[in-house]
């Protein structure tokens, strides 16, 4: 009996300890002094910053810009200028940035690297954050290639026109505003992808966890989504669309005059289509719709394992 009482008491102590850790973690997480919150949740754009390094690079013979960062946010913009400006900034009230910052030209490639000297567990720490932002100012006449890779940072592209764009994100958001590219590719493991006015010849998007929103979009689309919704609004349907979704709703808006072959299928969810479709296949399957809208000029293929599919006119 005494042994049973001790076991119950020990179990109660364990429960109390777990609850205490959970409550304490929540207090730390939502307090103003916890860097994890500032590292991932707060809008870094509104923070007062100071420049810690700045480089000017001649544009001549540069045909690729390669940005590699483990935790810095990366902003790419264009403006009226003759050279490329690379600016590294940190929050004005933060600790001294403990980064290796390098800018070099190698074989017609502008290589920009920002690596944190601390280990990952120390990057996410109590106290002031050492978050660094890289802003790259491109001449408006630069129209070559761009590669951006950041593990714990966001990427922001604005007002650029390039040949090929490749973006890799580990944990962070991707924001795109008024971007033109022949080929655009984005791989995001954990974070949202939001684009407003993305005009491409072909676009590939892979996201494991997070939503994707494409407004005012054009181009062939290959999209593979894990857990998260997809919302795509086409200005003009001028190529094929192929969307695979594991968990989440798919909403796609197409012009009223669009002509396409449709193959939409959801295993667990509702399917709605605003377009009149000349049905092909089994009409009894409520989760599947296959047929032609006016003419099979382009292919629109949407496969969803768990979630709704909504095909709208705009």
Give residue-wise pLDDT tens across range 126-136: 444 568 999 99
Of residues 90 and 173, more confidently modeled? 173
| Claim to verify: residue 64 and residue 17 sit in the same structural domain | no
| pLDDT-above-90 percentage for the chain | 71
Q: Does residue 266 register a pLDDT over 90?
A: yes
Number of domains the chain is built from: 2
| Claim to verify: residue 8 and residue 92 sit in the same structural domain | no
Exposure b/e, 138-159, CB count within 10 A at least 16 = b: bbeebbbbbbbbbbbbbbbbee
Q: How far apart are CA 89 and CA 114, in angstroms?
A: 11
Average pLDDT over residues 138-155: 96
Would you say residue 22 lies in a domain? yes
| Claim to verify: residue 16 and residue 112 sit in the same structural domain | no
Collapsed DSSP state (helix, strand, coil) of residue 191: coil
Q: Does residue 93 register a pLDDT over 90?
A: no
Q: Provide the pLDDT for residue 282.
A: 62
Q: Provide the pLDDT for residue 280.
A: 76
Give the domain CATH number at 140: 2.160.20
| Claim to verify: residue 17 and residue 58 sit in the same structural domain | no
| Claim to verify: residue 112 and residue 243 sit in the same structural domain | yes
Q: How far apart are CA 204 and CA 220, in angstroms?
A: 8
Average predicted confidence (pLDDT) for the chain = 85
Would you say residue 305 lies in a domain? yes
| Claim to verify: residue 24 and residue 147 sit in the same structural domain | no
| Claim to verify: residue 122 and residue 242 sit in the same structural domain | yes
List the domain range (segments joined by +) for residue 6: 2-30
pTM score of the predicted model: 0.82
| Claim to verify: residue 292 and residue 168 sit in the same structural domain | yes
| Claim to verify: residue 163 and residue 21 sit in the same structural domain | no
Model confidence pLDDT, tens digit, residues 154-207: 999 999 999 999 999 999 999 999 999 999 999 999 999 999 999 999 999 999
Would you say residue 36 lies in a domain? no
| pLDDT-above-70 percentage for the chain | 79
User: 91 falls in which pLDDT band (50, 70, 90)?
Assistant: confident
Q: Does residue 16 register a pLDDT over 90?
A: no
Written as six digits, the tokens of 141 are 């006449």
| Claim to verify: residue 7 and residue 71 sit in the same structural domain | no
Would you say residue 14 lies in a domain? yes
Q: Provide the pLDDT for residue 19.
A: 53
Residue with the two structure tokens 């695979």: 244
Model confidence pLDDT, tens digit, residues 20-56: 545 444 443 333 333 444 444 445 556 788 999 999 9
| Claim to verify: residue 21 and residue 135 sit in the same structural domain | no
Q: Does residue 98 register a pLDDT over 70?
A: yes
């Amino acid at each position: 009996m005494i042994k049973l009482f001790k076991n119950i008491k020990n179990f109660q102590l364990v429960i109390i300890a777990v609850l205490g850790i959970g409550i304490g973690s929540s207090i730390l997480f939502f307090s103003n002094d916890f860097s994890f919150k500032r590292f991932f949740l707060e809008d870094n754009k509104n923070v007062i910053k100071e420049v810690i390094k700045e480089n000017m690079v001649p544009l001549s013979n540069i045909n690729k810009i390669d940005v590699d960062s483990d935790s810095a946010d990366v902003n790419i913009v264009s403006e009226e200028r003759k050279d490329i400006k690379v600016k590294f900034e940190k929050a004005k009230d933060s600790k001294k940035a403990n980064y290796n910052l390098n800018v070099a030209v190698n074989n017609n490639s502008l290589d920009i690297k920002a690596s944190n000297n601390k280990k990952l567990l120390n990057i996410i720490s109590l106290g002031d954050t050492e978050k660094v932002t890289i802003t790259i100012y491109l001449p408006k006449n630069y129209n070559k290639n761009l590669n951006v890779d950041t593990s714990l940072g966001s990427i922001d592209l604005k007002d650029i026109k390039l040949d090929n764009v490749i973006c890799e994100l580990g944990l962070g958001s991707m924001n795109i505003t008024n971007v033109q590219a022949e080929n655009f590719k984005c791989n995001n493991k954990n974070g949202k992808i939001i684009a407003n006015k993305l005009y491409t010849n072909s676009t590939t998007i892979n996201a494991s966890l997070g939503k994707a929103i494409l407004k005012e979009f054009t181009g062939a689309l290959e999209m593979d989504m894990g857990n998260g919704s997809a919302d795509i609004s086409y200005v003009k349907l001028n190529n094929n669309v192929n969307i695979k979704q594991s968990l989440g709703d798919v909403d796609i808006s197409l012009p009223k005059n669009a002509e396409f072959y449709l193959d939409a299928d959801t295993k667990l969810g509702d399917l709605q289509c605003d377009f009149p479709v000349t049905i092909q296949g089994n009409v009894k399957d409520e989760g599947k719709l296959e047929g032609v809208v006016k003419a099979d000029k382009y292919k629109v293929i949407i496969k969803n394992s768990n979630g709704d599919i909504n095909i709208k006119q705009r």
